[in-house]
Amino acid sequence: MGELASYRLSDFILFSQTVYYRQFELYNQLVWPLHILAIIFALITIYALWKKPVWGGRLVALILVVSWLWVAWAFLYQRFYQIHVVADWYAFGFVLQAGLIIWYGLIKNRLTLFVRSQLKIKIGSALLFVAYAVYPFIAYINGRSWVQFEMFALAPDPTVLASLGILLFYKVPIVLYVIPIVWALLSASTLIVM
């Protein structure tokens, strides 16, 4: 039992920082020019949150569904699985989140009721700013190759941050926050010990 206590979180990560970010580099080269579509998705969500058109909630939900499904399949299942033994379970979680968004956002149309809490709106805006405007430049800021950048709708972390930011603008069930928060905690702990 004493040996078990000697393990640290870093002992369970079977890849280095170099290998992890190389995955993003190869992935970005493979999926180009989908980055342009990701920018369009981000602009549409900003417009829908700002102008609040009648069709906005369903379109934002559809963008989130496509983003979560794409990241599940194209990055987590196809690419991240090569270096992480439970990446297929992560992909399953992303698919499950997409299913929840389909149910609450498209079928139940719950992304129509906006919150009035200024605190939620400010936090949501900050998360969107980080996901859309800061996250793509983190690789460059940290001295890595600019090709290793991560974008909303294409990479897990900015997609999760943007989703949390978007959800904070709406009166949605708490269940929609569970998977993004779990992912944020898992990803943060991985990045810290890597």
The pair of three-digit structure tokens given for residue 187, joined into one six-digit string: 């990803």
| pLDDT tens sequence across 9-57 | 555 566 667 677 788 888 999 999 999 999 999 999 999 999 999 999 9
Whether residue 60 has pLDDT greater than 80: yes
| pLDDT tens sequence across 106-122 | 999 999 888 999 999 99
Model pLDDT, residue 7: 59
Model pLDDT, residue 192: 76
Mean pLDDT of 118-135: 96
Whether residue 134 has pLDDT greater than 80: yes
Whether residue 1 has pLDDT greater than 60: no
Model pLDDT, residue 6: 65
Residue 60 and residue 175: Cα distance in Å, rounded? 18
Residue 6 lies in a domain: no
Residue 102 lies in a domain: yes
Mean pLDDT of 148-157: 95
Bond prior to 158 in cis (omega within 30° of 0): no
| pLDDT tens sequence across 73-110 | 999 999 887 777 777 899 999 999 999 999 999 999 99
**How many domains, in total, are found in the chain?**
1
Residue 2 lies in a domain: no
Residue 55 and residue 62: Cα distance in Å, rounded? 11
Residue 17 and residue 37: Cα distance in Å, rounded? 28
Model pLDDT, residue 146: 86
Could you tell me the residue range of the domain that residue 186 belongs to?
16-193
Question: What is the percent of the chain where pLDDT is above 90?
Answer: 69
Residue 163 lies in a domain: yes
Model pLDDT, residue 79: 84
Whether the full predicted model's pTM is greater than 0.75, yes or no, is yes
Residue 42 lies in a domain: yes
Residue 32 lies in a domain: yes
Residue 108 lies in a domain: yes
Residue 75 lies in a domain: yes
